[in-house]
Each structure stands twice: as C-alpha cells, then as structure tokens.
Structure 1
Amino acid sequence: MKSKIAVLVSMMLALLMASLDTTIMNTTMPLIAKSLGGFDLFAWPFATYMIATTVLAPVAGRLSDLYGRKQVFASGMIVFLIGSLLCGLSQTMIQLVIFRGIQGIGAGFMMPFPAIIAGDLFSVEKRGKIQAIGTSMWGLSAVIAPLLGAFFVEHSTWRWIFFVNIPIALLALVALLPYREEYTPKKAQIDYIGTLLFTTGVTLLLLVTVVDRNPFVYGLAGALFVICFYFFEKRQSSSLIPFSIFRDKTLRWMNINGFLGWAALFGAASYIPLFLQNMAHLTIFTSGIVLLGTAIGWITASVPTGTWILKYGYRPLFIIGNALLAFSGVLLALLHEESGFWYVFIVMIIQGLAFGMLSTTGVIGAQQLVQAHEKGISTSFMMFSRNIGTAIGVTIMGAFLSKSEDFMSGMYQLFLYGLMGSLLAFVTSFFIKDRQSVK
C-alpha cells in the first residue's frame, strides 16, 4: 500500500511539472524574448515543447511495455529536470528553443504514465478517482502558473519558472524509489527505424501548425514519412505501434472519437480568456479563473466513471459525454458581447463534465481492451490521438480568429467550427460497441 501511495505522489508531481510548463510561459514570454532577443522566434519555445511532448508519448508507452514502467518514467523525469536546468541557464532564444525541446522530450516520457501505471495498480472503479486527482493537477496549474510566473518576474528572475522544477523533479524521483512494478515487461527489440519514421513524420505534420512559410511542404513530407512508417511497421515482428490493437473496432472508434472531440472543442480553453478580456474587460487573472470550471466538471465526472463503466458499459458513456460536449458547443456558439463570467463559467463546467467522462472512459477502454503487454502503447496512443486533435483544433480556431474582419465575428466562426466538430464526434460515438474486456 505504501508503494502505491508513493508512486501516486510521484505521478501527480510529474503531472504538475508538465502541466505548469505548458502554460507558465504564457504571461512571461514577452519579457523572456526581450531579455534574450530574437522576437522572431517568439512562438518556438511553445512549439518545440508541444511537438516533443505529443510525438514521444506513444514511444514512451511502447518502451514501457518492453522494459517496464518505472525505468522509462524515471528517465523522463531526469530528462525533464536537465531540460529545465538548461532552459533556466539559456543565454539566447535559440538555446531556449532547443532546451525547451529537451524539456518536452522529458514531458512526453512522463505524461502517459499516471494513466498507464494506474491501469497496472488500481481497479477499474478506482481509476476514475486517480484520473480526477491528475485532472486537479492541471486545474491547479491553470491557476498558479500565471501567479508563479508573475511572482518570479517581479521578485526575482524569469529563470526561476524553470528552476522551480528541479526540487519538484527530485522529490518525484525520491517518491518513485519504493515503487515495485506489478507489470512484467515483454522483452523485444526496439524498432529504431519505425521510431525514426514515426517521430519525423509526426513532427513535420505538427510543424504545419506553427510555420508561416511553405506549410504544404512540411505537411507533404510528414505525410510521406507516416505512410512509409505504416508500410514498414506492417512487416515488423516488434513494431513501435502494433496495428493489431486497431483491429478491434471498439478501440478504433474510441481513438477516432477522441481525435474529433478534442479537435472540436478542447482548444476552446485557449480562446475563452481572450474573449473575456476583450469583450467583458476582465483581467488576465480573472479570465483565467473561468477555466477552473472545466477542472470542476472534469473531476466531478471522472470520479464515478470507473463504476459507471462496469454498470453501463462504454457506449452509453461515450454517447452521453459527446452529447454534453455538443451542448457546450451550442452554448459557446451563442456567446455574444454581453456574455459575462458566470455564463462562460457554467459552459466550462459542462464542457469539463464532457471531457472528464470521455477522457476517463477512453483511457480505461484503451487499457481493458488489449493484452497486458500492449497496455502502455494503447493508453499512450489514445492520448496521442487527442493531442493531435488538440493541435489541429487550436490551429484551425486561430486561423478563423486571425483572418476575420473583427474580433467578435472571428470568435463566432471558431466556436461554430467547434460546434460542428462536436456534432461529428457525437455521431461517431454510436459506432462504439461494448464488448468483453481482455482483463
């Protein structure tokens, strides 16, 4: 029991670090760019972190299936610690971009493991509660990240937004020491070529969301690498992503649904504070507080979801979750200049309920519908599908906002897009069929 508590502490600290560093630079980046120079690279510290985190999550999951959870999880924390130290010591923007990539590699190797290890250690009923605790780390970071960033800038130096990770990472590593794995790895050769093809292809595809010049070239090159990866993997006995797991129609539609739902509305959180600042004239802090509604809804839905799965199955929960998501899309599409804090806060709670139910049900399904030696890659690929969806959704929404004639019409267009996407996700939820879990 003590081992489980210790690893739970370690997992939550790792999630806190990764989530903090996703958003803590939002308010401090202008000052950092001014300090280091290179405003033309302003977006790249965000992009390198996001790309590395997204691309490497499936790799980490597969490695954990082959070599064990503890070893890969600890390696991710160590890389994240080193990346944080280097980011804090950066002297130029180019250095910061590179070191943020290293930090993102560590985050990519950390973030799937709270769900993966929870699948090894805890029953289905308890996993919803574990995910709720993990969600609370994201909610906590949404509130304290801007406060920490402002505090360090005003009272010390922006470099401490990275240095603060070092004691947290060390504490997480110490908490992980007592952990004794219950999962027995299935030894196999690492698919180096497949890993290279996959990471290169997905990286190029994600670069389309951030580059200004020749995005078509990046997209085409990325697509070619992904196609090569697919045909190469089909001939491998120990592939990076065993395509056999997608022969299961239930799991396949769960991944499709996750991609569509997250592409539709998960990125809305990036634009809600902007709407409140411009139209309701709220402060940066107050407009950020509204996102706590998402965390409240997410935690509320996550806690009982494990029990609901055993009672009702996957399909009804996906249908209800997507119905709630589409309803939140309707309410967002009805936003207008007079919509204030409490209207948006309620919408965020509803959206949080939707994502909490869908996220927990999808992750548990990804674990229960595969063999034990495929649980890591199945779980992390579910997260990968959602992350790719989020990246695409945020990019599309940003394009609507930047190309519109005025701010409010841009917000209306991006939320209308979110509504259409959520309705499509709702339709796909009916293709998810319940079946016997593998274990």
Structure 2
Amino acid sequence: MDNATYAQQRAENAERQPLLGGAYNSQQHEPTAADPDHDELSSTRLAVVFGSIWIIVVLTALDSTIVATLTAVISTSFSSFNNLSWIGTAYLVGTAATQPLAGRWTDIYGRRRGLLAAGVVFGIGTLLCGIASQEWVFILGRAIAGAGGGATTATSTFVGADLVPLRRRGVVQGINNIAMGCGTGLGGLVGGLLNKWFGWKMAFLAQLPIVVLGLVLCAVVPDIPSQPSKKDHGSRLDYAGSVSLVLAIVLLLVGLNAGGNEVAWTHPLVWSTMVLAAALFALFLLIELRHAAQPIIPLGLLMHRNVWSACLTYFFAHMAAFATMYYIPIYLQVRGSDPTHASLRFIPQSMGTAIGAYGAGVLIKVTGNYVYLSAAAHVFLVTASALAATLDGQTPSWCPFFYLGMVGLGFGAMLVTTMLALISSVEHSEHAIATSASFAFRAVGSSTGITLASVVFQNTLIADLHRRLGGGGEIDKLIERIRRNFDAVWELDPPTRAAVQGGYLESLRFVFITILIMSVASMACSLVMRQNKLHNNLARR
C-alpha cells in the first residue's frame, strides 16, 4: 500500500465514521479493538477492567527492578560474570521486539487475546528464570519474559485508548504510571527480601500465582475489547514486515549493547549485527511501502507532524531518563554508597514519574491542553539533567535523590502529554498502530541512551585515569582491573583511591553533560507538536 492510497483510505474512513456510528445499536454493540461506537463505561466498570489488566503490568515493572538489584547475586550463582550485562539486556531486547507489533496484531485478533497471549509468554519466561540451572536458560527466560511484558504494557495502553475519551485519557495513563511506579519502587525491596529468605529463584517463582490471577481476570472481565477490528485477519497479517522489523530491532540492540561492554566496537559481532540490522530495516521499509496490504506500521502515518515529533521526543527522553537511572547509582557507589541498598535508588524516580503522570492527566482533563504541559515537563527534565552535571565529591547526599525525583516528574508528565499529542493526531482506528510505532522509538532510545552514556564514560575514564596515575604496564593493569571491578577501588592505598575516585567523578560529569544534551533534544522535538482538540467522547464528535 503506497502513501497516497493510505492517505485516501484515511480520508474515506474519516468521512464514513459519523454515519457508521449511527448504524449501530449501542445497547447491543460489543466493544471491539479500535472501535469508538460503543457505550462509554462507568468509572466502576473501567476500574474493574484496568485493575484486572494492571495486575500483570505491575509485575512487569516489579520484575525489571528485581533483576537490577539481584544481578550480582544471580551472576555469582552461575559462576559467570562475562555475560553479566545480558541479564538486563535480554529483557529489553524482548520488549523491543514485540511492542512495535502489538498494535496491528491486537487490532486483528482483539485486545483480550493479545493480553492473554502476552501474559502467558511473560509467565513462561518468568518460570524459566525461576527454574534455570544454567545462565543461558536464565537469559532466554529474561528475553521471553520481556517479549510478554512489553506486549502487555503496550496492549494495556491500547485498551485505555479504546475505552476512554481523549480528554480523560491522561488521568487513566497517570494511574497506570502510579501502578507501574509502585512495581518499580517495590521490586528491589521485594527481590531483596525473597532472596534473603528463600534465595533469588523465589523472586521469580513467587510471581507465577499472581500472573495466573491476572490471566483469569483478563479472561473473564466482560468489558475488555475482545472482538477484532479487522475481518479476514489471517490474510491481512503482514508476516514479512513483522519478521524483518523484529530481527532488525533485535540485531540493532544486540550490537549496541555488546559494543564497548562485552567486546570492542571494532569486533565482528558489533559491525556485523549493525550491517544486518540496517539491511533488515531497508527490507522492512520496502515491504511496508510496496508489498504489505496491511502494514505493521504505515509509513504515511509517520509523516504527520505530531506523530514524528512525538516519536522523536520519546526517543531522546528515554535516552536521557534511562542513562540517568543507570549512572546516578554509579555516582552514589563512587561516593561510597552501599550497593546492597540499590532498591532505594529507584524510589524517587518512580514516585516522581507516578506523580508527574497523574498530575499531567488531571490538568489535561481540566484544561484540554497538552502543549504547555509538555513544555513544563521538559523544563523539569532539562533542569534535573543540568543539576546532575554539577554533581561532584562534595555534593550533599540528598541531592542525587532529589534530582532523580525531578527527572521522574518531568518524565512522567512527558509520557502523558506526548502520548495525547500522538493519538489525538490520528483516527481512532489507528491509535494502536501509532502507539506501537512510538514504543519502537522508546525501546531503541532506552538502549541507545545507555550505550552512548557508556561510550562517553569508558573513554573519558580511561583518559582521565592515565592522566592522574601515569602510564606503564602496571598502571594499565590497575586501570583495567578497576574498570572491570569497582570494588577493587576500596583495596587501593588512600592517595591512589582518591585519584581513581576523582577520575570516576570527572567521567560521570561528562556523562551527565551528555544526558543534558539528550534532554534538550527531547525538548526541542516536543516544541514542534501542535495542539489538537481533545474530545469528551470516544467518537470524537
């Protein structure tokens, strides 16, 4: 389907929609995916729907920080540190692989089936993690859990767009972020306690009964959209586009995460995955432009001003937020923070994200405006990034947590305002596809931000340590040892330790300056977005 045909179909759909709305009996019409022509649900019925869905959504958030705080324990149990980064990366890769597909797939098969399939996949991955006796099994389980968790999170967003008018959708998304914030904030604490009492495997096995409960509720709650929005779905599914997009994203993230972490950037693994990813992206574009009857992501949709600006805003904001989340803890550890209390590091940002998202949703419901709120959200994000760039060895201990809270406030509000700018710019039937496209930018942005920050950190650290400690074979060995194992810093004599800490702090300053640039880029993209009318009903009339 070419872009001209796609634009013509959009225009025809827009003309027909009011007539179709009158053709249905709203008392008998069952909610379907991407269908505005049904009764709007009461607050109680909406609470039942989203309460059922959010059970698994909260688990996916909790699961991410459980792993973040148990990484050292898990890798030690397998007697292998060489694949340490893949414990976290595998989940991210799995998430990035399924989120771009979830919109079209659940349009075709229905949101309920999508939620059930995603929940089952998440449960299988979590089970594999809980019974893994080898590291590769655990990493495979993380990738499978990420695939299910990513699709669950995306589909829960689609259900919100199916059932809640634009004007009130920000509030629902804000509550969703509160639920996810609770999961993120409690994950480290829950994981630490279960590991202490029963061992790290119980941190995964204990999730399974809750996953089953969530699946049962998603299966029986009547108001979750269950009917597909497209007929003849088997012939319309773009398998070639789906496979090429998934493989391209997976290979890109594998290359980005391996380069500079597992292997050198010049290693064949890195450049070969990058080249293959580029080739597959090109193939995906060709399929979507020339051959796909129902493209996974219609490229014409991305030409809309609000759509591409929202996707780029997400990309740069996720770069900044995830890099901050990874490198503020490193700063705290350089200052002597006990790494066993890692769970506390996630709480300020999680709380800030929840408050920012809900507050933005309430204000949008009252004012109907998201453009000004988007600018205000980015003021928080940019200011926090600028303040983080001032961190040094003398900064009061409360400052990093305050800055994380500010990042969370800006990031949470940005999630709501940008999503509303995106979905208010497309037809109701296209909101899931547009949202899926934005999730692809978010996933790649998250990984790219961490990778870029790592490149800046490692390169400036090596140069600064050589400047402070000098050169020679013994110094080279020392630098390599403390880069691989930060705990070795505390074994050094006081003058050398002070020099090394100074080198780390200086490198982190360059990282936070890089994050500031990412935040400014996100703000610049957000300023391109235009204000659309936010309707008080699903039919947008």
Report the TM-score range of the alignment, normalised by the length of the smaller protein.
over 0.9
1: CA distance, partners of 2:300 / 2:100? 15
Equivalent position to 2:357, from 294, 299, 302: 302
CA distance in structure 1 between the partners assigned to 2:240 and 2:63 by the alignment? 30
Q: TM-score, normalised by structure 2?
A: 0.76
> 1:386-415, CA deviations, whole angstroms, 9 ceiling, x for partnerless residues?
221111001111222223132101110110
Mapped contact 1:88–1:159 kept (Cα < 8 A): yes
Aligned to 1:417: 514
Shift of 1:240: 0.9
Query: Aligned ranges for residues 216-365 of structure 1 at < 5 Å?
Result: 216-235=271-290, 236-279=292-335, 281-284=336-339, 288-309=343-364, 311=367, 313-365=369-421
Once the two structures are superposed, the pairs formed by residues 80-229 of structure 1 within 5 Å of their partners are: 80-176=122-218, 177-182=220-225, 185-187=229-231, 188=233, 189-211=236-258, 212=263, 213-214=267-268, 215-229=270-284
**CA 1:333–1:229 in 2, change beyond 3 Å: closer, same or farther?**
same
Matched residues in 1 for 2:400 and 2:381: separation?
A: 14
Q: Residue in 2 aligned with 1:75?
A: 117
CA spacing shift, 1:22–1:290, aligned 2, 3 Å: closer
What amino acid sits opposite 1:118 in the alignment? G
Structure 1 length-normalised TM: 0.93
C-alpha deviation, 1:427, in angstroms: 2.1
Task: Indicate conservation of the 8 Å contact 1:125/1:307, yes or no.
Answer: no
RMSD: 2.2
Contact 1:142–1:288 (Cα < 8 Å) also in 2: no
| Cα drift, residue 3 of structure 1 | 4.2
The one-letter code matched in structure 2 to 1:89 is I
- State the 1:37 CA deviation: 3.9
- Aligned positions, number: 438
Q: CA deviation at 1:33?
A: 2.6
Residue deviations 1:115-143 (CA, integer Å, cap 9, x gap): 21111222334333322332223332333
Identity between Structure 1 and Structure 2 (%): 23
Task: Check the 8 A contact 1:297/1:351 in 2, yes or no.
Answer: yes
Distance in 2 of aligned mates of 1:293 and 1:152 = 22
Unaligned runs of 5+ in 2: 1-41, 465-502
In 2, are the aligned partners of 1:290 and 1:344 still within 8 Å (CA)? no
Structure 2 CA distance for partners of 1:301 and 1:143, relative to 1, 3 Å: closer
- Aligned 8 A contact 2:170 2:364 in 1: no
Q: Does residue 13 in structure 1 map to residue 55 in structure 2?
A: yes
Larger radius of gyration: 2
Distance 1:184 1:94, change over 3 A: closer
- The residue that corresponds to 1:431 in the other structure is 528
Residues 125 and 291 (structure 1 numbering): CA distance in 2 closer, same or farther, change over 3 Å? farther
Q: Return the alpha-carbon distance in structure 2 between the equivalents of residues 324 and 144 of structure 1.
A: 24
Give the distance between the partners of 2:516 and 2:211, measured in 1 at CA: 39
Instruction: Give the CA deviation at 1:290.
Output: 4.4
Which amino acid in 1 is paired with 2:156? Answer: P
Q: Structure 1 residues 185-194 or 317-326, which shifts more?
A: 317-326
Distance in 2 between residues matched to 1:225 and 1:367, nearest whole Å? 28
Residue 428 (structure 2) aligns with = 372
CA drift at 1:307:
4.9
- Over 3 Å counting, the alpha-carbon distance change for 1:126 and 1:299 in structure 2 is farther
Mapping of 1:36-75 within 5 angstroms?
A: 36-75=78-117
Secondary structure in structure 2 of the residue aligned to 1:40: coil
